[in-house]
Chains A and B, each alone.
Chain A
Amino acid sequence: MAQVTMTVNGKAASGEIEGRTLLSSFLRDQLKLTGTHVGCDTSQCGACVVHVDGVAVKSCTMLAAEADGADVATIEGQANADGSLNVIQQAFQDHHGLQCGFCTPGMVMSAAALLKDNPKPSESDVREYLEGNICRCTGYHNIVKAIMAASGQDVGAIAAE
């Protein structure tokens, strides 16, 4: 067992872990931050995306020990300080960009990473960026719309409903 310490959503967090403990397990099982989901075991689905030192990472593919000392952001820390939904979260609700909600935390975290690097992505930019996030419910239409809307673009003309 080893000790890890990191900052998660702005707060110090630490725990005793086995060497093989994945960051996703540490967040879910030890810190009880169950918003980060695990939908596969081959690093394909993206439900577990979090930010580590500002970079989007699949937390099922990183050992918790590798995040020792890092600054980690999860879905639980994304809302505005007053608890209201942030711009991306609000756009997902406004444009019905989620159904069962299971892939949603990863989608929101990936969208945040995309918009940080590419503040006005085209439709194809968004679709290409989301290659590593699988959604089985929405057909992606409304997710793409939500992300473009969150970037301040007019999505009314993108496609007929």
Chain B
Amino acid sequence: MPKDGGIGASSKRREDVRFLTGAGNYTDDINIHGQAHVFFLRSDIAHGTITSVDTSAAEAMPGVVKVFTGADFEGVGSIPCGWQVTDRHGDPMQEPAHPVLAQGKVRHVGEPIAAVVAETLAEARDAAEAISVDIAELPAVVNMKDALKDGATKVHDDLTSNLCYDWGFVEENKDAVNKAFDEAAHVTSLELVNNRLVANPMEPRVAVGEYARGTDEHTLYTTSQNPHVIRLLMGAFVLGIPEHKLRVVAPDVGGGFGTKIFHYQEEAFCTFAAKACNRPVKWTSSRSEAFISDAHGRDHVTKIELALDADNNFTAIRTETHANMGAYLSTFAPSVPTWLHGTLMAGNYKTPLIYVNVKAVFTNTVPVDAYRGAGRPEATFQLERVVDKAARELGVDPIALRRQNFITEFPYATPVAVEYDTGDYHATMDKLEEMGDFAGFAARRAESEKNGKLRGLGVNCYIEACGIAPSNLVGQLGARAGLYESATVRVNATGGLVVMTGSHSHGQGHETSFAQVVAEMIGIDESMIEIVHGDTSKVPMGMGTYGSRSIAVGGSAMVRATEKIINKAKKIASHLLEASETDIELKDGAFSVAGTDKSVAWGDVTLAAYVPHNYPLEDIEPGLEETAFYDPSNFTYPSGAYACEVEVDPDTGKVSIERFAAADDFGNIINPMIVTGQVHGGLAQGIGQALLENCAYDENGQLLSASYMDYAMPRADDLPMFSVDHSCQTPCTHNPLGVKGCGEAGAIGSPPAVVNAVVDALQSAGKDVTHVDMPLSPDRVWAAMNG
């Protein structure tokens, strides 16, 4: 029987009502009296030296308030990078300066050169056209391997080369790994590309800066997944504004998927210009601008090798990856191919020896950073592809090979520095085999073949690491921030609660699911609880939402704060009931004395806290508000098994997804409806990567896929209905809710399933195809078949 509220209930989302009636409050819906608009003049050249910028004609155009160039930002800080990777030799990565507006050189198409602030956006855009920019073009560095050749043009003249870092993990294991390969009975190797993507939340980025001259206070409204992080990065490192004079608000945000984590130049510009112009300044990205200014994702080129013994046990994994950083280091870019990728290379398997080498490379392209999954999809894709290829080479069943090598005992310390607390990989695979009706596949294949189509079945597993932590460990790994979360729970006199969480919701439904947790803990109706997020003036501190961390880290902080509330409320209740505190029980919103019929309602206790006429003032202060910071002791490790069935049209190479099943283990679940929706969205993005999406540059660094006319977003008729199950649950052992996180699983687990299925389909027709690089567009599949 489904629950009708609290933990485990599919409560309908309260936020939906405003979104469905046009009453949401997105950043572009915010307009401040006296506001001016900014339009950025962006480089249309990938690499060059700026020889002159003449703004005089633009300054004389109608409506123009002020024109800014790089010269206005001399002395202003660089856009900072939040993670420093140390290379194989113990040296820090190369870290170039990242100006708000280009200084001397342009390094990617889309880099802002000048900015026009005007009365209207149209006037700003018109005036920008009147700016005369001369750029002496330099050779563009686009291909990563070319970028590392001797004598290659440098993206940054002040760096020694285009190599950001050369990272080895675990460096001490390298010789042992090589030895295992020398002794292997079988080695399977695979070279592959993890295609560059654009996150494309449907809401483009927006920033509105406001300055109050009387109090010297700045406010920035921005489309961010983590407003406190923006306040710290922009305030402390770019503009020199202390946190008590800077408020950052991220109201309703229309999707993030990673690309709204980062601190961008436009945020710093609008904050700076609001003071310089003494009026609010608003920037609204167009979709075309988004393609050339939002951080991109993925873009790895990898060689992976898998060593097996004579009994088909995995003995070692060795990988070499080139990871594109783009022209500058975006906020978390260096961490993605290293600590979010190398640490996942064990996957679901007890491979004893692993060595991961990553060369991060600067190119004249848009910066690359975290996109849904961030490093974990790249790890999963290469591992699950090479395991599948090994099974085919050895003539064994791909599922059986996986099962044979599954980790089965927990906790399990991998050779890549992480310890999985719980999991049951056989259970999710068992569930998948049932959901996917593998027994019926042969008949479905025969039916497809009757219709002139090839049919393939692809299976894979995945493991994810969510809620990156603890802070003292990530600090050692190079993070320049803590990765805890905070929550403040304020109880009002009449019993309602306001939870101020540092997590941020941009589609995840926290206003509903977080309220369910507190409702369950106290035993009151969800409608008595308000969840507040996204405003640094309301929420004391927050690290925000990314890496599937909200319920595992933010939810845990909220639980801890609520526990403090309950403890204090019990003290008050014990006074009101004239009983010992240890005898007080809280159930269904009432405090009672164990073994008696004496009780006092939640609302009576909260009223006493604020109207303390009868109150133990000598023991505790009035009021009922508590804050907790929660710093997890480990990551959480969701896992699962996915199956994809495709049909391939041999005449055109077109792939269609016929069935997709996902069996996930997310530990305990707060709202199954929301969790299912998160998986659906992740699957669509993963299938989009596998079949449709590709961010393509030409050899001059021009972005060829810079609009929805050219970048193939998954549409409704590209996707099937999904079969999703999360009944396999091994709760996390180290957080109070036993939760693991679910936001990225679909995007991590689905690309290898699709590619494995297509390879299976092509091999069923006798084609000697072992791999096709994503996206598996009709031309690529047709070419692979007709090689």
Contacts and interface: CB of A to CB of B under 8 A. Distances in A.
B717 interface: yes
Contacts of A137: 202, 255, 507, 677, 681
Interface in B155-187: none
A102 B16 contact: no
Contacts of A44: 707-709, 713
B13 interface: yes
A-side interface mostly: loop
B21 A76 contact: yes
Interface stretch (A51-59, A61-69, A138-146): A138-146
B786 interface: no
Interface residues of B, number: 61
A160 interface: yes
A35 B24 contact: yes
Nearest to A78: B21
B435 interface: yes
Interface stretch (B109-117, B135-143, B720-728): B720-728
A40 B287 contact: yes
B19 A98 contact: yes
A35 B721 contact: no
B287 A138 contact: no
Contacts of B254: 37, 39, 100-103
A93 B17 contact: yes
Nearest to B682: A139
B288 interface: yes
Contact of B507 (A35, A36, A101, A159): A101
A78 B22 CA distance: 9
A100 B506 contact: yes
Contacts, number: 191
B72 interface: no
A: interface residue count bin: 35 or more
Contact of A94 (B12, B17, B507, B685): B12
A48 to B, nearest CB: 11
Interface string A89-129: 10011101011111111001000000000000001101110
A137 to B, nearest CB: 5
B467 interface: no
B252 A101 contact: yes
B509 interface: yes
B674 interface: yes
A45 B717 contact: no
Contact of A127 (B24, B707, B717): B717
Contact of B202 (A18, A41, A75, A134): A134
B203 A39 contact: yes
B717 A100 contact: no
B428 interface: no
A140 B716 contact: yes
A29 B119 CA distance: 13
Contacts of B507: 99-101, 137
Contacts of B715: 130-131, 134, 140
A82 to B, nearest CB: 13
Closest 5 CB pairs of A and B: A35-B22, A101-B19, A102-B254, A139-B684, A100-B507
9 contacts: A35-B22, A40-B287, A47-B202, A93-B12, A131-B715, A134-B708, A140-B714, A140-B716, A141-B722
Given A96-B674, A140-B719, 4 more contacts: A44-B708, A130-B717, A137-B681, A143-B716
